[in-house]
Amino acid sequence: MTNHKNNIHQASFRDPSGYMFHDGKTLRRCINPIYFPQYKKLTESGFFKTLIDNGLLIPHVETSASEEKIVITPEEIPFITNPYEWSFEQFKHAALHTLKIQKYALSKGFILKDASAYNVTFHKGKPIFIDTLSFDFYEEGTPWRAYKQFITHFFGPLVLAKYHGTEVFKMLQTHIDGIPVKLIASMLPGKSKLSSTLFTNIHLLAKMESKHSEDYKAETKVAKLSKKAQNNILESLFDYIKKLEIKEASEWGDYYNKTNYETAAFQAKKELIKAWVAPLQPQKLIDVGGNDGTFARTVLDKVPHIIVTDIDSNAVDYNYKQIQQNKETNMLPFVCDVLQPAPGIGFNNTERSSLIERLQEYAPDVTMALALIHHITLSGNVPFEKSAEFFAKFSENLIIEFPTREDSWVVSLLVRKREFINHFDFYNEANFEAGYKKFFHLEKKEAVSGTKRVLYLFKKMK
């Protein structure tokens, strides 16, 4: 721990209260003396304990304490997802989670001093608050200082998603501190002004923000706000968000009802996957393009941690709902477009790491890519060698399904190329194998019975 100053976590520099650092493989949190009074009160009053017992805050243990610093070690989270990778339901729950914590904090004489969406992530099937140092003392009569952040990080994006779909969450990639209130207001339809919640929390807020943006000397007096009034804000936002819904037609949501193969073939594919995954004894597995997690679920009882990504927010939503209903704790779904994975963003481009960096750190033992390669190759025009390079960056064992040219999906993708169809003559098993053999050894190959598809197992070259 001697040279930990050099290992400070790249996302942890904004808050003077402390910082995260890597101590070998363990991530720990250092607390600076400026935050000692808060930390002590939060610990001694049992505030932390209640939040932790209720599964709201990431558990931590105190590792060391001196006059210069206190070091705590939070429970390890295998993989961090960012707000622009969440489905609607996940985003919604993260917002509700934040309000719930603020309301409780307020009742105990504390506040959340920030309401950044990055303070919440998903762990063991549920949202969890991960910034232990986000709490401060409540000062009687003061408005919630993180209110605006809550609007720009949570409320605004959710309301925009209602009108424009979950694509708007990707705007958070270019706005790390939330979507500006003025922009949110401008993107909402005029009728949104008729809702008292939207009018006050967004349109009026936008107006007030521009009106008071030139108060350089902080001269204007901040109005008082009673605790009861603040509770009303929190509760009405909670109610509103809880009722929010989106109407989005799914790209794949209904995929399994309109697949091109029979129930028997479906079952055959499941059996094959089970049989191939078991001997690899993976601790961590990722299913890229895994839809609602149907195939990942066949091995859920054998793998301690599973990630399922899909391009379709609705499929991820459906997966997330199943996780809640079945109370699954080892599955983590999130939205990912393989052709455009989340980049590294923020200060230095390192504040939030790119998807590839996070996957490399996660280092899954098994990567599954079922019914995906034809989309990457034919819809995305990515040559086999390039997609092999992508998978080789983070995969040890790769189980990949190759739909042949006779597969009805492939036929459909090819005819849509129209006069360019001849440009895609390279799409066949031989070229696929050749491309992947540049990065992997071919271990197994088997046709999925009842389909025009072939399942491959590749092992990465050392």
Partner 1 sequence: MNYFLYFDPGLGAMIVQAVVAVAAGVLLFSKNVMYKVKAFFGLLKKDDDTYDSIDIEEQDTDTHDQPQK
Among 120, 188, 234, 296, binds partner 1 (CB under 8 A): 234
Among 8, 11, 187, 225, binds partner 1 (CB under 8 A): 225
Task: Provide, rounded to whole angstroms, the least separation between the CB of residue 87 and partner 1.
Answer: 13
Among 22, 242, 416, 438, binds partner 1 (CB under 8 A): 242
Piece in contact with partner 1 (CB under 8 A), picked from 208-216, 284-292, 405-413, 454-462: 208-216
Residue 15 binding partner 1, by CB under 8 A: yes
Task: Provide, rounded to whole angstroms, the least separation between the CB of residue 147 and partner 1.
Answer: 5
- Sign of the torsion angle spanned by Cα atoms 48, 226, 146, 222: negative
Task: Provide, rounded to whole angstroms, the least separation between the CB of residue 326 and partner 1.
Answer: 11
**Which residue number, 242 or 423, has a Cβ lying nearer to partner 1?**
242
**Which residue number, 134 or 309, has a Cβ lying nearer to partner 1?**
134
Residue 292 binding partner 1, by CB under 8 A: no
Residue 423 binding partner 1, by CB under 8 A: no
Confirm if 306 and 319 have CB atoms less than 8 A apart.
no
Residue 92 binding partner 1, by CB under 8 A: yes
Residue 149 binding partner 1, by CB under 8 A: yes
Confirm if 268 and 447 have CB atoms less than 8 A apart.
no
CA-to-CA distance for 18 and 28, rounded, in angstroms? 11
Among 78, 143, 343, 380, binds partner 1 (CB under 8 A): 143
Task: Provide, rounded to whole angstroms, the least separation between the CB of residue 211 and partner 1.
Answer: 6
**Which residue number, 133 or 371, has a Cβ lying nearer to partner 1?**
133
**Which residue number, 52 or 265, has a Cβ lying nearer to partner 1?**
52
Piece in contact with partner 1 (CB under 8 A), picked from 142-150, 155-163, 254-262, 398-406: 142-150
b vs e for 321-336, b when ≥16 Cβ sit within 10 Å of the residue's Cβ? ebbeeeebebbbbbbb
Nearest alpha-carbon partner for 221 in 281, 275, 141: 141
Among 233, 335, 366, 400, binds partner 1 (CB under 8 A): 233
Residue 175 binding partner 1, by CB under 8 A: no
Residue 1 binding partner 1, by CB under 8 A: no
Task: Provide, rounded to whole angstroms, the least separation between the CB of residue 450 and partner 1.
Answer: 36
Residue 409 binding partner 1, by CB under 8 A: no
Task: Provide, rounded to whole angstroms, the least separation between the CB of residue 310 and partner 1.
Answer: 20
CA-to-CA distance for 346 and 179, rounded, in angstroms? 14
Among 204, 339, 356, 447, binds partner 1 (CB under 8 A): 204
The 3 state secondary structure assigned to the chain is CCCHHHHECCCCCCCCCEEEEEECCEEEEEECHHHHHHHHHHHHCCHHHHHHHCCCECCEEEEEECCCCEEEEECCCCCCCCHHHCCHHHHHHHHHHHHHHHHHHHHCCEEECCCCHHHEEEECCEEEECCCCCEEECCCCCCCCCHHHHHHHHHHHHHHHHHHCHHHHHHHHCCCCCCCHHHHHHHCCHHHHHCHHHHHHHHHHHHHHHHCCCCCCCCCCCCCCCHHHHHHHHHHHHHHHHHCCCCCCCCCCCHHHCCCCCHHHHHHHHHHHHHHHHHHCCCEEEEECCCCCCCHHHHCCCCCEEEEEECCHHHHHHHHHHHHHHCCCCEEEEECCCCCCCCCECHHHCCECCHHHHHHHHCCCEEEECCCHHHHHHHCCCCHHHHHHHHHCCCCEEEEEEECCCCHHHHHHHHCCHHHHHHHCCCCHHHHHHHHCCCEEEEEEEEECCCCEEEEEEEECC
Confirm if 301 and 55 have CB atoms less than 8 A apart.
no
Task: Provide, rounded to whole angstroms, the least separation between the CB of residue 92 and partner 1.
Answer: 7
Piece in contact with partner 1 (CB under 8 A), picked from 63-71, 133-141, 270-278, 333-341: 133-141
CA-to-CA distance for 42 and 427, rounded, in angstroms? 61
Among 145, 164, 170, 460, binds partner 1 (CB under 8 A): 145
What part of residues 308-367 is at the interface with partner 1 (CB under 8 A)? 321, 324-325
Residues contacting partner 1: total by CB under 8 A: 74
Task: Provide, rounded to whole angstroms, the least separation between the CB of residue 215 and partner 1.
Answer: 5
**Which residue number, 139 or 419, has a Cβ lying nearer to partner 1?**
139
**Which residue number, 15 or 351, has a Cβ lying nearer to partner 1?**
15
Residue 103 binding partner 1, by CB under 8 A: yes
**Which residue number, 92 or 123, has a Cβ lying nearer to partner 1?**
92
Among 62, 76, 235, 361, binds partner 1 (CB under 8 A): 235
Residue 49 binding partner 1, by CB under 8 A: yes
Among 31, 118, 121, 136, binds partner 1 (CB under 8 A): 136
